[in-house]
Chains A and B, each alone.
Chain A
Amino acid sequence: MQDPKIAYRPLTPEEEQRRRKRSIAIALALGAMVVLFFVLTIAKLGPQVLNRPL
């Protein structure tokens, strides 16, 4: 959603490439966080992670 009060212009190819790299970096950071929380859960709970009442 664009702010009608702000004027816009097309991104240059270099700016588009920068944005693409930023998007990849954000995706990698999110992936790293998923791995981090998984490892943290396993490390904190250990074998007990699956041992819970259903």
Chain B
Amino acid sequence: MPGERNTVVALMTSLSNTLPAGAEANRFAPAPAAVGGDVPDYFALLKPRVMVLVIFTALVGMVVSHGHVPPTIAAISLLMIAVGAGASGCLNMWWDADIDAVMTRTAKRPIPDGRIQPNEALAFGLTLSVGSVLILGLASNWLAAGLLAFTIVFYAVIYSMWLKRATPQNIVIGGAAGALPPVIGQAVISGSVGIESIVLFLIIFIWTPPHFWALALVKAGEYAKAGIPMMPNVAGPQSTRRQIVYYTLLLAPLGLAPVALGFGGLLYAIVGLLGGLGMLAFSVQVFRNREGEAEKRAAMGMFAFSILYLFLLFSALLAEQGLGLFRPVIV
């Protein structure tokens, strides 16, 4: 826990024994861990890869919306959505430093690795959270700002502090935070929340469990070591595989909803149909391969393809609505 690490730092600093005075004082620092990290370490706290995904999905939420906002305002709003997402990632890393230290995938993050102090990360995350929400409110509207604030609180408090360590449904419910950026994007452009962004929210929301559970099947040992109740650790791998298939059966037709609602065109229909079939095929592979290397290969295949699937769905919408490639399927 962050508090425990502070105690360690205090003990370590008390072991140092020189107290400089006078003009040279600004060249001295509490020793040894409290001297601050490198600039890239602070950037890493923002989970840049997640930020890219958030920018992308929020941008798609913007282009499928009705309304007109000057490009400068849209760009500043998009930047603030990204900063808000980064801030929530930073707060997540602050809270989860103890479990990050246990898992190989996350042990080298700036806080568990000792490059940044927990309190620094907390201050950084809170400052960026408040700043991004306020600037988004001033730049666009307070509905969008309120949704961004809700997303940050949902991810940092509801998911990180509560659900993640409490229930195997953690990423199912917590997935709402990752699904909200298109809704914020639409709020920026139209000042309201419409069916388009709600459908995009649902696609990401239903996509999240099979995506994360595929990874959790492979990393079950790591999650068990950290004491996180992921689905494979609680319900068992077999039940998880079954649930992956159920969610994918729901996701494949849902992925085609934009076509039925008229904001997804021919290109989107083709991508959605082929991608949905691909997701189903991978989920069946995960269900059938239950042991050894084949199990790992199937799960990692599903994990990788699910990223590609979501990327292609949103890219198709972006190309149709943003680049004028829209050809209606339903006239």
Contacts and interface: CB of A to CB of B under 8 A. Distances in A.
Interface residues of B, number: 30
Given A7-B30, A10-B28, A19-B35, A39 B76 contact: yes
A40 interface: yes
B50 interface: no
B76 A9 contact: no
B138 A40 contact: yes
A19 B39 CA distance: 9
B87 to A, nearest CB: 14
Interface in A20-48: 21-22, 25, 36, 39-40, 43-44
A11 B39 contact: no
A51 interface: no
Given A21-B38, A21-B39, A39-B72, A8 B139 contact: no
A51 to B, nearest CB: 18
B29 A8 contact: yes
A19 to B, nearest CB: 7
A4 B13 CA distance: 12
A25 B132 CA distance: 18
B35 A40 contact: no
Contacts of A8: 16, 18-20, 28-31
Given A9-B18, A9-B28, A43-B72, A18 B138 contact: no
B328 interface: no
A18 to B, nearest CB: 5
Contacts of B323: none
A25 B135 CA distance: 20
Contacts of B139: 40, 44
A7 B15 contact: yes
Contacts of B35: 11, 15, 18-19
Interface in B73-97: 73, 76, 79
12 contacts: A2-B25, A2-B28, A7-B31, A8-B16, A9-B32, A10-B18, A10-B27, A16-B27, A18-B37, A21-B39, A25-B39, A40-B139
Interface of A: 2-4, 6-11, 15-16, 18-19, 21-22, 25, 36, 39-40, 43-44
Closest 8 CB pairs of A and B: A7-B16, A9-B31, A43-B72, A8-B28, A25-B39, A15-B35, A9-B16, A6-B30
